[in-house]
Amino acid sequence: DQVLHIVPETFQQVQHLQLLCSTLMLDLWKPLLPEDIRAGEDLHIRVPAPLVQEVKDSLYQHMISYRVLIPDVQKLVDQSMPRERSSHRQVSGYVYTEYHPMEEIYQWMTQIQKNNSELVTQHFLGKTFENRTMYYLRISQPSNKPKKIIWMDCGIHAREWISPAFCQWFVKEILQNYKTDPKISRFLQNLDLYVLPVLNIDGYVYSWEKDRLWRKSRSPYENGTCYGTDLNRNFNSSWGSVGISFNCSSDIFCGSGPESEPETKAVAQFIRSKKSDILCYLTMHSYGQLILTPYGSTTKPPSNSEELMQVAKEAAAALTGKYGTSYKVGSTALILYNNSGSSRDWVHTIGIPLSYTFELRDMGAYGFVLPASQIQPTCEETM
Amino acid sequence: DIDDVGHKYYLELELEDVLDKDRTVNCTAEVLYHLGSKTSAPDVQVTVQGELRSTEEADQEFYNWIRSLEKELVAENIPDSHGNIPPELEPIHLLAWVASGFLIWQNSTENTKFHLAQIKHVKQVKRSDEDLQFDYVLLLHEMVSQVI
C-alpha cells in the first residue's frame, strides 16, 4: 500500500479526487472525509497495493500531480511494532503500548468507529482555541431501554501522557472483550460509556512539538505575552477562590472567568445537557497514584461522601490487587492540596453523584515522562 | 507543634534500593520545619536501621566508563519524552536524583512537594585531577503550584 500526498490545484481536481475516493473507497488520512478535500490543502490518501497503478493513471490523466509520501505502508507498520508482539492485541495494527501524537489519535478514533460501528459512534463535542475538533466516542449497545451514562475524559493536562494512553487502552479493552467478558457485557446492557480521549488537544500537540512538560491550554493572554489556562481550574466550582493564580504565566492560571476557555465550555455544555443521565464522572490525570473525591476548594465533605469513599476504596483495592501498586483515596483538599474550578468538583455540584479524579502512575520517579513500557501495566491495573 | 520554633515531624520510613527492588531498609527520621517567613531548609535527622548496601562496584564501573570516553560526556532530556533512559546513562540519572534531593531539601516547606521531572541537560566538565565533574540543568516539578 502507498500513501500519496496531493495538493489539488483547482476545484475540478477536488471534484475528481472526491469521486475517486468514494468510488474506490480509498482510505483518507488527511482530511478524514472526502467532503473536506479542498484546493490548496494537503491531501493524504492510502491506496491499497492492487489499486496503486489505477489511481496513479487516473491522476496522470487528470494532470493532478502527487508525491509518494509512504512507498510501503506495511514496512513502516512492521518497523514501528514493539519487539514482543504476543500479548499486545491491536485494533487494526494500532500499538496501544506506545504514546501517540494527536494526528494518530484522530485516525484511531475514525478506525475504531469504522471497525466497531455496531457499538461505537464518534461525536463532535466542540472546538479548541486553536480550532481543533474535540471528539468523544460513545460506546452503546443498542437496546430499547434507556441507559445511564459513565463519562470519562483524559488529557486535560497536556504533559500527562499516560492519561490519553489510558483512554485509548480502555476503549480497546471494552471493544475486544465485550462479547466474551461477562462483566463487560453486563455493564453495557445497563450503561453507555462516553470517552473523550484528549480534552486539551492544543496543549497535547504543544507537548509533542515544543515543550514536553506543558500543562495548560494554548489560549493567549495579555496581548500574546503568555499562553494557556489550567483547564482544571477553569470550571465553575468556587472558581478563582483557592489553589489558583490570576497571573496568566502561572501553571495554575484559572482563566478570565469560569468556563472562559472553549475546551471547558464544550465539556461543561455537554455534561449539563446530559446531567440527569450521568451516573459517574471520571477524569484521568497523572501522576501520584490517587483516587480523589470532591472537593478541592473546601474540606467540608460532600453530601454523599460515604458512598463516594466506599466506591473509591473498592476501586483502589481492585487496582492494587493487580500488580501491587498502591493508591491513596480521599478528598483533594485533605490528601493533596486546595484547588478550585476543577471539573470533578463542578460536576458534583450540578448533581452527578459519583465524581472522581484518578492520578495514575507513578509517584514521581518518572513523573510525567512515564516510560511507554509502563503503559500496559498501568492500564491493566486501572481497568 | 513547638511554640516559637516550628513544626516537628517524626517519621518511620522504608527505603527501597533503586538498584535492587527487593531490598528494603527501615529508617526513622525527625524533620523540623522552622517558623517564619525566612526561608531556611528544614532540619533533618535520619537514622538508618540496618545497612545500606555498598555501591562500590557500580561506582567503579561508571567511573571507569566515563574516564574511557574520548570526549566529555554531553546528554539531554533524560528521560526522553517517552520515558526512556539509555542503560549506560542510568548512573547519570541516579546522580541527578541524588543532587536533586539536596536541592529539594534546601527548598522545601510544609507546603511544597517536589520531584525531579527531567534532566534537561548534562555536561561533563573537564578537570585536571582524577575527579569527575558534571554540570546539570535539572527540571524540578512542584506539585502544589504545578510549576516546573
C-alpha distance from A366 to closest chain B C-alpha (Å): 7
Name the grid cell of A300.
467540608
> DSSP readout, B10-45?
EEEEEEE-TT-TT-EEEEEEEEEEEPSSS--PPEEE
Is B146 in Cβ contact with A215 (below 8 Å)? yes
β pairing state of B43-49 and B24-34: antiparallel
pLDDT for the residue A80: 64
Q: Could you give the CA distance from residue A104 to residue A321 in angstroms, rounded to a whole number? A: 33
pLDDT for the residue A84: 47
| B1-52: CATH class | alpha beta
Q: Is A118 a catalytic residue?
A: no
Averaged pLDDT for residues B115-131:
95
C-alpha distance from A176 to closest chain B C-alpha (Å): 26
Query: How many other CB atoms are there within 10 angstroms of residue A381's CB atom?
Result: 18
Query: Residue B94's closest chain A neighbor by CA?
Result: A365
Share of chain A above pLDDT 70, in %: 96
- Range 70-109 of B in CB contact (< 8 A) with A: 77, 79-84
Averaged pLDDT for residues B97-115:
93
Domains and CATH numbers, chain A: 2-71 (3.30.70.340), 102-210+236-382 (3.40.630.10)
Is B79 in Cβ contact with A251 (below 8 Å)? no
Name the grid cell of B139.
527540571
Residues of A with Cβ-Cβ distance to B148 under 8 angstroms: 213, 251
Burial class (CB in 10 A: 0-12, 13-18, 19+), A244: buried
Q: Could you give the CA distance from residue A336 to residue A338 in angstroms, rounded to a whole number? A: 7
Alpha-carbon torsion (A91, A92, A98, A101), positive or negative: negative
* Per-residue pLDDT reduced to its tens digit, A62-104: 999 998 888 888 877 776 655 544 444 444 589 999 999 999 9
Q: Phi and psi (nearest 5°) for A30?
A: -160, 120
Cβ neighbours of residue A159 closer than 8 Å, sequence gap 6 or more: A207, A212, A213, A214, A215, A368
Contact A368, A203 (CB under 8 A): no
Q: Which residues of B122-142 are buried (b: 16+ CB within 10 A; e: fewer)?
A: bebeeeeeeeeebebebbbbb
B118 touches chain A (CB under 8 A): yes
Q: Phi and psi (nearest 5°) for B53?
A: -65, 145
The overall average pLDDT reported for chain A is 92
Please, what is the Cα angle at A379 between A179 and A115, to 5 degrees?
A: 40
* Per-residue pLDDT reduced to its tens digit, A115-134: 999 999 999 999 999 999 99
Contact A137, A179 (CB under 8 A): no
> DSSP readout, A86-150?
SS---STT--TTS---HHHHHHHHHHHHHHTTTTEEEEEEEE-TT-PEEEEEEE----SS--EEE
Cβ neighbours of residue B112 closer than 8 Å, sequence gap 6 or more: B142, B143, B144
Share of chain B above pLDDT 90, in %: 73
Query: Residue A97's closest chain B neighbor by CA?
Result: B82
Residue at A110: amino acid letter = T
For chain B, which residues make up each domain, given as ranges? 1-52, 54-147
Strands in B43-49's sheet, in edge-to-edge order, are B6-16, B24-34, B43-49
Better-predicted residue by pLDDT, A80 or B103 = B103
Chain position carrying cell 469560569: A258
Say yes or no to pLDDT of A161 above 60.
yes
Chain position carrying cell 534500593: B17
Better-predicted residue by pLDDT, A145 or A344 = A344
Is B148 in Cβ contact with A337 (below 8 Å)? no
Is A252 in Cβ contact with B145 (below 8 Å)? yes
pLDDT for the residue B37: 59
Mutate which of A211, A212, A326, A342 to test chain B, going by most B C-beta atoms within 10 A?
Answer: A212
Better-predicted residue by pLDDT, B17 or A278 = A278
Chain position carrying cell 546513562: B89
Q: What is the largest CA-CA distance in chain B?
A: 58
Identify the helix (H) or strand (E) that includes residue A263.
helix A262-273
Q: Could you give the CA distance from residue A250 to residue A101 in angstroms, rounded to a whole number? A: 25
Is B83 in Cβ contact with A373 (below 8 Å)? yes
β pairing state of A2-6 and A148-154: unpaired
Torsion, Cα A185 A189 A194 A197, to 10 degrees, reads: 10
Is A243 in Cβ contact with B79 (below 8 Å)? no
Residue of B79, B145, B146 with shortest CB distance to A369: B79
pLDDT for the residue A89: 47
Share of chain A above pLDDT 90, in %: 82
Q: A130, A359, A380, A381: which is the annotated catalytic residue?
A: A359
Is B148 in Cβ contact with A213 (below 8 Å)? yes
Averaged pLDDT for residues A134-138:
97
ipTM: 0.77
Residue of A251, A364, A371 with shortest CB distance to B83: A371
Is B143 in Cβ contact with A371 (below 8 Å)? no
CATH of B54-147 given 3.40.1210.10, 2.40.340.10, 3.10.450.10, 3.50.50.60: 3.10.450.10
pLDDT for the residue B100: 96
> A-B interface: how many C-beta pairs under 8 angstroms?
57
C-alpha distance from B73 to closest chain A C-alpha (Å): 22
Residues of A with Cβ-Cβ distance to B96 under 8 angstroms: none
Chain position carrying cell 493567549: A220
Of the listed ranges A101-115, A211-225, B26-40, the one predicted with least confidence:
B26-40
pLDDT for the residue A86: 43
* Per-residue pLDDT reduced to its tens digit, A308-341: 999 999 999 999 999 999 999 999 999 988 999 9
